Structure formats: structure tokens, C-alpha cells
Amino acid sequence: MKRFSLRILFYLAAAIVLVALPSLVRSNYWLGTIDLAIIYSIAVLGLNIVLGLTGQLNIAQAAFWGIGAYTAALLNTRLGWPFWATLLAAPPMAGAFGVMLGFPTLRLSGRYLALATIGFGIIINLILHNWKEFTGGADGIPGIASPVLGPFKFSTNASFYYLGLACLIIAALAQLKIKNSRMGRAFQAVKENELAAELSGVNAFKYRVIAFALCSAYGGLAGQLFAHRTKFVSAETFFIDMSILFICMLMIGGVGSIAGAIVGASLLTFIPEWLRFLQGPWAMAIFGLAIIFMMVFMPDGLAGLTRSIVQRIAARINPDGQEAAGRPSSGRIGATGEGK
């Protein structure tokens, strides 16, 4: 059928572009930026579970990102654990902290929870910064090793790209699975109407904590990748301004949408670099204005925008109102136009 093969063709094209990207882009600097965008995307995907699926505002994602990074850094530099081992250790560690934060605070309502997460994030940051004996204090932890697989070392931006991309794809697919699973529907129910959910036998609190744990685990994964890529971690990177940026990324990409999370993260990683030619404060000031602008004109983010455009194109192709084959939102990880 025409619809079927068009979709396949599209996925194939996307796959080719993604695999060939390093050769297409060539520039080491832009590849480095893309690597960073991938890492941020994973962190923002985590945020999507909590904010998008369960409707809770978490302004501490950078802290979990940091916990993941420091876990990887410490295990690698102090105990010699390789990349693949820290990959398995960092997300659960961050997840555990997520539960630790979630348990006492998730009974609070949205705005209160938001402020509690701010406090948590700051406390974590200060501990990372000041506990010299354990975390290296202000000096940070240098000398983290690059991932190694047999004879092959992932030390360049291009090689790391593939590693990061693989993790991102797995993370996104996992979230897609979660979204469509029973757990995902429970998240949705809690978000839409908690009272009704409870009456239907859904333990709201339990699901909120799970969502929080998943969110922080994603953050931890992003942190682990970050640590092995930049080979140095210091507490000042994992501060509330990054948490705030992650939220902006999600909102601009489109909260609730997996593709949105990735697009938002990528866009907000690239924009400051594109604006570099503007010299300093001009770039950041324009960036600030752009954020306001995007909130005003694109409240559902880019994903929502794309969705409405696709719907209108579809309506025009198929005036009977049937679902027609439209181009998936951003072509990255498949059609996620469904459900906010």
C-alpha cells in the first residue's frame, strides 16, 4: 500500500542520514555539539516522563544528571570500572536518589513539588561542590576514561556519536514502550484526574514515585555518557540553571512528546552556538527573547505545531477525515504524534 511504503521509505532515509551524519557534517565542533545535544536529549526524555506523562514539575533534573556523572566518574577513576560497567551503575544510582526525593515530596501538589525539587537540586549541588574528600570538591574529577570496546576506543566526537545515538534510540524506544504500556496509561490517568484514577484502583502515589525514579534514571544515564565524553566533571556544571534549561527544552520541543523532547533539546543546544557570531550578551539576550516568543506562539512546542500542521495537510488530502500518511513529526524516532 502506498501509505505503508512511504513510511518505510522515510524511516530508511532517516536511518541513512543518521548513520552517515558524521561524514556529512565533518566539522568536529558541530559533531561535539551534536553529541551534547544527544546527551541533553536523554536527560530531557527523562523529564518528559515526569512532566509529560505524569504532569509533575521536576526542577532538579540537572542534579540527577550530576549524580549519574559523578557516579561514573568515581567508579571509573577510583575503582577502574570501564564505561560498560558504569553504564549499568549510574542510572540505578540516580534512580535511587530520585526515589529518595520522590518519596517524601510527591504527596505535594505541583507548585510545591516544583519548589521542593529546587531545594533538593541546590543541596545536591552544594554537596558535590564541597565534599572534597569524596567528590574532589571544587577541583572536580579529571581523567575519566573514554569508552573502549576491544581494540576500539570511542575517543573522538564522531565515534562517540554512534554510542550516544544508540543509547538515545534505546532510551526513546523504551519510553515509547512505557507510554503504551499499562504503566504508561496509569501515569496518564494520574495526570488527568487523580481522584478518578484512585477510584479505579490506581495508586497515584506509587506511580508518581515510579515516574520520578525513571526520570532520574534517564538523567543518570545522560550523566554517565557526559562524564565519559568530556572526561572531567565538576559540580558547577550540574546546577539549577541547567535544570531550568532542560525544562525549557522540553516545553519548546513539546511536552509529552518523545520527538518533542529530542527536538527541543537539540534546538536549544544549537541555538546558542548559531548565535555565537553575535558576540556575548547579544546572543543570550536574543535567546531569552526567543524563549518567550516560542512560549507565546508555540504553546504546545514544536511537536504540537508539527502535529497540527500534519493534521491540516492530512485533512486536505483526505477530506473524509481519515487518517492519512503524514510525515512523522521530526523524522527521528518514529511517529509519536499520538497522545499528549
Partner 1 sequence: MFDVTTFAQLFVTGLAMGSIYALVALSFALLYKAVGILNFAVGEFVMVPGFISVVLLTTLKVPFLWAYLVTLGLMVFFGAVFQRTVYHPLRGRPFVTVLVSTIGASLFLRNTSLLTFGADPRVSPGLFTAKTVSFFGVFVPPQYLLIIATLIVLVVFQYLLFEKTLLGKKMQATAQDRDMARLLGIPVDTIILITFIYASLLGGISGILLAPVFYVTADMGFMIALKAFASSIAGGLGSIPGAIVGGLFIGVVELFCAAYISATYKDVFAFVILIAVLLLRPQGFFGEKIAEKA
Partner 2 sequence: MSRIRTVYVLSTVFLLFPLLAAHGEAQTEKSVRIGLITEQTGVAAPSGERGIRATKLAEKQLNAAGGVNGSRIQVITYDNNSATQGTVNAVNKAIEDKVIALSGPGRSTHVQAVSPIIKENAIPALIAGTAVQLTRQGNPWLFRVRPDDSINGTAMAEFMAKDLKLTRIGILHDADAFGTGGADVVAEALKKYSQAPVRRERYTAGTKDYTAQLLNIKNAGAEGVVLYTTNAEDAAIVFRQIKELGINWKIVGCPAALSQVVVDLVKDASEGAYGAVDYFAEASPQARVFREGYFKEYNQEPDFQSAYPYDSLMLLADVMRRAGTTTDRNKTRDTILATRGYKGAMGTFNFTSNGDGIHDAHLIQMKGGKPRFIRTISVGQK
Number of residues that bind partner 1 (CB under 8 A): 47
Distance (Å, whole) CA 325 – CA 311: 10
Min separation Cβ 252 and partner 1, Å = 8
Min separation Cβ 251 and partner 2, Å = 14
192 binds, among partner 2, partner 1, none (CB under 5 to 8 A by kind): none
Site mask for partner 1 (CB under 8 A), range 42-61, x = bound: ---------x-----x----
Distance (Å, whole) CA 135 – CA 125: 11
- Beta pairing partners, 152: 149
In 193-323, which residue ranges form alpha helices assigned H by DSSP?
Answer: 194-199, 204-230, 240-253, 258-274, 281-297, 301-317
Return the residues of window 220-239 that contact partner 2 according to CB under 8 A: 230-232, 234, 236-237
Site mask for partner 2 (CB under 8 A), range 58-77, x = bound: --------------------
Distance (Å, whole) CA 145 – CA 162: 17
Half-sphere exposure of 318 (CA within 13 A, CB side): 11
Min separation Cβ 280 and partner 2, Å = 3
As given in the structure block, the three cell numbers for residue 226 are 557526559
With CB under 8 A as the contact rule, which of the stretches 32-40, 108-116, 163-171, 188-196 interacts with partner 2? 32-40
Give yes or no for residue 165 binding partner 2 (CB under 8 A): no
SS3 per residue for 46-101: HHHHHHHHCCCCCCCHHHHHHHHHHHHHHHHHHHCCCHHHHHHHHHHHHHHHHHHH
Return the residues of window 220-249 that contact partner 1 according to CB under 8 A: 240-241, 244, 247-248
| Of residues 248 and 258, the one with the C-beta less far from partner 1 | 248
Min separation Cβ 47 and partner 1, Å = 11
Min separation Cβ 271 and partner 1, Å = 12
Q: C-alpha dihedral over 200, 204, 210, 212, to 10 degrees?
A: 140
Give yes or no for residue 251 binding partner 1 (CB under 8 A): yes
**Per-residue burial over 23-38, b = 16 or more CB atoms within 10 Å of its CB, e = otherwise:** eebeeeeebbbbbbbb
Distance (Å, whole) CA 145 – CA 137: 20
Tell me which of 36, 87, 118, 211 binds partner 1, using CB under 8 A: 118
Distance (Å, whole) CA 218 – CA 223: 9
Tell me which of 19, 282, 312, 339 binds partner 1, using CB under 8 A: 282
Binding site for partner 2 (CB under 8 A): 24-30, 32-34, 36, 126, 129-130, 132, 137-140, 142-143, 155, 230-232, 234, 236-237, 263, 266-267, 270-274, 276, 279-281, 283-284, 297-298, 302, 305-306, 308-309, 330
Q: Which residues bind partner 1 (CB under 8 A)?
A: 51, 57, 104-105, 107-116, 118-120, 122-123, 126-127, 130, 194-195, 240-241, 244, 247-248, 251-252, 255, 280-282, 284-285, 287-293, 295-296, 299
